[in-house]
Amino acid sequence: MRDAGPFDGIVGFSQGSGMAAILMALMQAAHTQNSDHSDADLQALIKELADCPLPKFAMLFAGFYPELPQFDALVSGSKECKINVPTLHMVGKTDAIVPMERGQQLATQAFVDARLLVHEGGHFVPGNAAWRKQYQEFIDGLDLQH
């Protein structure tokens, strides 16, 4: 992140969405008052990301809430602890790998004002024109100038 960034956005699919959420939670903790944690490994990761700016947005497809106590420590509690990055979450109604409820949990419990979209299919990124238009509208609605 430090060597190749900064990045405007992060896109994740499945486990990549969970990892993106962990990364953004760590980055946010490095820039807020939410950086005082007793776990030494967590503190080291937060310190390592202190000079990396948060992305301006994230698009997370077929993601899930990481069931890790360290992640819970970063995003649970008050609204100020949740990840404050504009996000688009896409979940599939018939996803047999990551059930829709787990994707909804990521959006509602880890992020502030997440935008959640549900498609009729399974574990994939919908790519037809109607869905691509929704992705474009999400990006067009962001302030990427700062």
- pLDDT value at position 35? 55
Q: DSSP letters along 57-91, please?
A: EEEEES------HHHHHHHSSSGGGSB-S-EEEEE
Catalytic hit among 35, 37, 72, 123 = 123
pTM of the model: 0.90
Residue 11 main-chain phi, psi, to 5 deg:
-120, 130
- For residue 111, pLDDT over 70 is answered with yes
Report yes or no: 33 and 78 within 8 Å, Cβ to Cβ: no
Using pLDDT thresholds of 50, 70 and 90, give the confidence band for residue 37: low
Residue 126 to residues 30, 100, 140: CA-CA distances in angstroms? 34, 15, 19
Helices 15-31 and 100-110, axial angle in degrees (round to 10): 10
- pLDDT value at position 47? 86
Length of the chain, in residues:
146
Catalytic hit among 35, 95, 113, 140 = 95
Quick one: which of 61, 135, 49 has its CA closest to 91? 61
Active site (annotated) includes residue 14: yes
Active site (annotated) includes residue 113: no
Strand pairing report for 115-119 and 9-13: unpaired
Catalytic hit among 14, 17, 89, 119 = 14
pLDDT per position as a tens digit, 116-141: 999 999 999 999 999 999 999 999 99
